[in-house]
């Protein structure tokens, strides 16, 4: 690849080029190809000379970070991935490194496992005519619930806060993993107590959550309701609805419909009444101090997320 080709590649496909070697602490990886981008991050398929965790193929996420505050956020993401490392339904962190560049920006590299099946959103796009079956949907959803339950049962409990189909990867034909922990955080000790705290919460939610997946307490921070594990469970309900119907339940009418919990079940595709009841059990306002549980089963697997 000559200089002009490399420049064109960088303009369209990120900052790293195929064949380039990158060091992430003790690991040296070679870039194979660009995969995707989001925000300030570019994602690449890379290879190690010798197997790491039984494979030579991995994913390298390269993030350009403008300042110390943003670097703190990225370090928090890495720390959370380290805490969650080892769970079979959470993308595995291998290592991470960062340094300050000559232009004053920080360059961060996060080395992770490669999920060869790609994103669930890609699977859905391939199945526009022949939609996912109920058993396929439950297989995906059970694995996601396992990952979320592991986060919620951590000490202290962790919220993902950005559960959506774009953040689920297929590791194998029968295994699915949760990814992207840039929005994850611990549960706040209390709701906002004044307008300054309400505005700070609104700004945080706008930066770290996706509108269509937000629970009512996230839509209107002025309600001053707790944002906790129940907020993730609401997002799971939206995610399950999207796996079934390829749209989100509040797409048409937006925030007001979320606040009023107003949605309908489309006539097609047809799923069981139990599936729609499972969606409904998550898409409801969770009154404080009540105890409920959400459970789903797929053949041999059962997952329960308990709300208290």
Which residues make Cβ contacts (< 8 Å) with residue 62, sequence separation at least 6? Answer: 14, 15, 16, 41, 42, 43, 44, 107, 108, 109
| Cα separation, 180 vs 70, whole angstroms | 16
Give SS3 for 137: helix
| Cα separation, 111 vs 118, whole angstroms | 16
| Cα separation, 123 vs 170, whole angstroms | 9
Q: Is 162 a catalytic residue?
A: yes
The answer to whether the CB of 169 falls within 8 A of the CB of 112 is no
With CA atoms as reference, report the closest residue to 56 among 111, 120, 17.
111
Angle at 90 between CA 130 and CA 215, to 5 degrees: 70
| Cα separation, 65 vs 292, whole angstroms | 41
Angle at 160 between CA 123 and CA 99, to 5 degrees: 95
The catalytic position among 162, 180, 228, 232 is 162
| Cα separation, 8 vs 1, whole angstroms | 10
Burial environment of residue 47 by CB neighbours within 10 A (0 to 12, 13 to 18, 19 or more): middle
Alpha-carbon dihedral angle through residues 124, 129, 130, 132, given to the nearest 10 degrees:
30
The answer to whether the CB of 165 falls within 8 A of the CB of 188 is no
Would you say how long the chain is, in residues? 308
Catalytic residues: 162
């Amino acid at each position: 690849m000559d200089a002009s080709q490399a420049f064109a590649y960088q303009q369209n496909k990120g900052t790293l080029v195929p064949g380039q070697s990158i060091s992430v602490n003790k690991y040296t990886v070679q870039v194979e190809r660009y995969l995707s981008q989001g925000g300030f991050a570019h994602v690449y398929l890379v290879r190690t000379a010798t197997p790491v965790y039984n494979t030579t193929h991995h994913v390298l996420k390269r993030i350009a970070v403008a300042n110390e505050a943003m670097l703190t956020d990225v370090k928090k993401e890495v720390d959370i991935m380290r805490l969650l490392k080892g769970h079979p339904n959470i993308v595995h962190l291998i290592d991470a490194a960062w340094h300050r560049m000559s232009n004053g920006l920080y360059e961060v590299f996060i080395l992770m496992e490669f999920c060869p099946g790609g994103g669930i959103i890609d699977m859905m796009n391939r199945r526009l005519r022949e939609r996912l079956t109920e058993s396929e949907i439950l297989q995906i959803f059970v694995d996601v619930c396992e990952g979320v339950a592991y986060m919620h049962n951590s000490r202290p409990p962790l919220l993902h806060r950005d559960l959506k189909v774009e953040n689920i990867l297929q590791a194998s034909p029968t295994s699915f993993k949760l990814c992207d922990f840039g929005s994850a955080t611990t549960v706040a000790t209390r709701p906002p107590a004044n307008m300054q705290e309400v505005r700070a919460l609104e700004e945080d939610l706008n930066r770290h959550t996706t509108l269509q997946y937000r629970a009512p307490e996230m839509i209107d921070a002025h309600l001053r309701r707790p944002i906790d594990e129940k907020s993730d469970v609401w997002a799971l309900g939206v995610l399950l609805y999207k796996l079934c119907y390829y749209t989100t339940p509040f797409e048409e009418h937006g925030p007001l419909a979320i606040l009023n919990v107003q949605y309908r079940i489309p006539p097609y595709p047809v799923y069981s009444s139990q599936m729609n009841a499972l969606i409904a059990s998550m898409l409801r306002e969770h009154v404080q101090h009540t105890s409920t549980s959400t459970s789903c089963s797929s053949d041999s697997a059962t997952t329960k997320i308990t709300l208290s």
